[in-house]
Amino acid sequence: MQLPEHISSAQWQRFKKAADQYETPFLLLDLDVVRNKYQELERSFDYAGIYYAVKANPAGEVIQLLAELGSNFDIASTYELDKVLGFGVEPQRMSFGNTIKKASDIAYFYQQGVRMYATDSEPDLRNIAANAPGSKVYIRILTEGSEGADWPLSRKFGCNPEMAVELASLAVELGLEPWGISFHVGSQQRDIDVWDAAIAKVKFIFERLLNEQGIQLKMINMGGGFPASYLQKTNELVTYREEISRFLQEDFGGNMPEILLEPGRSLVGDAGVLVSEVVLISRKSSTALERWVYTDVGKFNGLIETMDEAIKYQIGTDHEGEQGPVILAGPTCDSMDIMYEHHKYELPLALEMTDRVYWFSTGAYTTSYSSIEFNGFPPLKQYVL
Ligand SMILES: *Cc1c(COP(=O)(O)O)cnc(C)c1O
């Protein structure tokens, strides 16, 4: 098999040995890769605080490992909070990064000791003031130009810079500490220049607040967006580091605020391989050139990010030899359960039913997105190496 560039043949041997013990479908996660990715990010952005976005892969082993490595955590719900607290992580190492939250959930976070809250609207800010008095708040702004992102997060989150200025000054009135500005340039962001535009907006907000209201913000939360290794190539992390550091330097120079990152995909994506089995190979007519290959994983048990073919995973099988075009689909009775139809994947002509199909770099946004009982299929299982 042609292995993806980021997997050595020694790694693959070790991986196969473990994978052969389990029945498909399952995700196999290599914790060494998570460790390496974390340490690489920490070395690259040695000036930044790292807050792991738990939703990317909430496995206990991942939380525990990252907690031991000194990571902080970006938390989106009371459930994630309870889980991460359960691993002994101090609430001072957590932020409530979801801008969409119930007042009662804010109260719960506060009661558990969390003092950092993201917001992007006045009603939410007022809820924070009422239920988490005196806390630090950071205001999330909208970013444009998420075309380079394979999984955009635009529109739903963030407010425009003008509103961010108003919210920061309202935060002071409400007795909160307006701590900084956050943004997320879109997940799997291949266009590094969008950080430049986002950082420039942050600078504008910092200056407006200081010059007009004497409010000094202290922090920039640059979100996630760092890449995993899919079909479409991205720059290396070092290039992200160089470019983004330069943007920060140009805009903030000697007056650098505290910098936070919230990686999800880039820490866990490459650590996972989803192992599936071919359920059926068929053709729609006797002369059809393409084979339909149905696997026991699909959109509903791990591969939801193939929606609109947004994320294109690298795929492999145990066969060598001549390849031909396939349409890849999942096992459920929903016609939406097709992973790739427009992008033409090729798989070996020798592929047969019960053979295994490997989906590389599937450590992020697979288990956590898996449905619980659609057509009776259970949630995607996960094992760790
Ligand atoms: C999902 C999410 C992240 C992680 O983004 P990646 O692109 O997976 O690194 C970071 N911050 C927030 C607020 C998020 O919602």
Q: Which domain-ending residue is among 231, 263, 295?
A: 263
The CATH number linked to 366 is 2.40.37.10
Q: Give mean pLDDT, residues 21-49.
A: 98
Q: pLDDT tens digits, residue range 213-236?
A: 999 999 999 999 999 999 999 999
Shared domain for 108 and 174, answered yes or no, is yes
Name the domain boundary from 263, 288, 320. Answer: 263
Mean pLDDT in the chain? Answer: 96
Residues in the chain: 385
Give yes or no for residue 266 having a pLDDT over 70.
yes
Q: Are residues 251 and 284 in the same domain?
A: no
28, pLDDT greater than 70: yes
Which of ligand 1's atoms lies nearest the C-alpha of 55? 1
Residue 145's pLDDT band (cuts 50, 70, 90): low
Report yes or no on 168 lying in a domain: yes
Averaged pLDDT for residues 169-180: 98
| Token output for 229 | 């290794």
pLDDT in tens, 49-69: 999 999 999 999 999 999 999
342 found inside a domain: yes
Whether residue 159 sits in one domain with residue 83: yes
Same domain? 62 vs 200: yes
Residue 300 sits in the same domain as residue 241 = no
- Collapsing DSSP to helix, strand or coil, 178 comes out as strand
Residue 25: cis peptide before it, omega within 30 degrees of 0: yes
161 is written with which tokens?
Answer: 């810079």
pLDDT attached to residue 73: 98
Rounded distance from Cα 221 to ligand 1 centre (Å): 11
pLDDT tens per residue across span 190-213:
999 999 999 999 999 999 999 999
Predicted confidence (pLDDT) at residue 18 exceeds the cutoff of 80: yes
Residue 146 has pLDDT above 60, yes or no: no
pLDDT of residue 201: 96
Q: What are the tens digits of pLDDT across the range 64-88?
A: 999 999 999 999 999 999 999 999 9
- 23-48: average pLDDT: 98
Which of 153, 305, 311 has the most ligand 1 atoms within 8 A of CB, as the residue to mutate? 153
Q: Which domain holds residue 327?
A: 269-384
Last residue in a domain, options 239, 263, 287? 263
Same domain, 218 and 358: no
Rounded CA-CA distance 109/102 in Å is: 11
Same domain, 333 and 297: yes
Closest ligand 1 atom number to CA of residue 151: 7
Q: Could you give the count of Cα atoms lying within 13 Å of 258 in the half-sphere of its Cβ?
A: 11
Are 252 and 277 part of one and the same domain? no
> H or E segment at 39?
helix 31-44
Ligand 1: residues with CB < 6 A are: 53, 55-56, 74, 97, 184, 187, 223-226, 262-266
Q: Which atom of ligand 1 is nearest to 265's Cα?
A: 8
Q: How far is the CA of 72 from the centre of ligand 1 (A)?
A: 13
Q: List, for residues 298-326, the tens digit of each pLDDT value.
A: 999 999 999 999 999 999 999 999 999 99
Most distant CA pair in the chain: distance in Å?
A: 74
Ligand 1 center to 157 CA (angstroms): 11
Q: How high is the pLDDT of residue 154? A: 66
**CA 191, CA 235: separation in Å to the nearest integer?**
9
Domain count along the chain: 2
> Are 259 and 275 within one domain?
no
Instruction: Measure the CA–CA gap between 171 and 173, rounded to whole angstroms.
Output: 5
For residue 80, which of 50, 103, 112 has the smallest C-alpha distance? Answer: 112
The predicted structure's pLDDT at residue 22: 98
Q: Tell me whether residue 328 is in a domain.
A: yes
Residue 150's pLDDT is 79
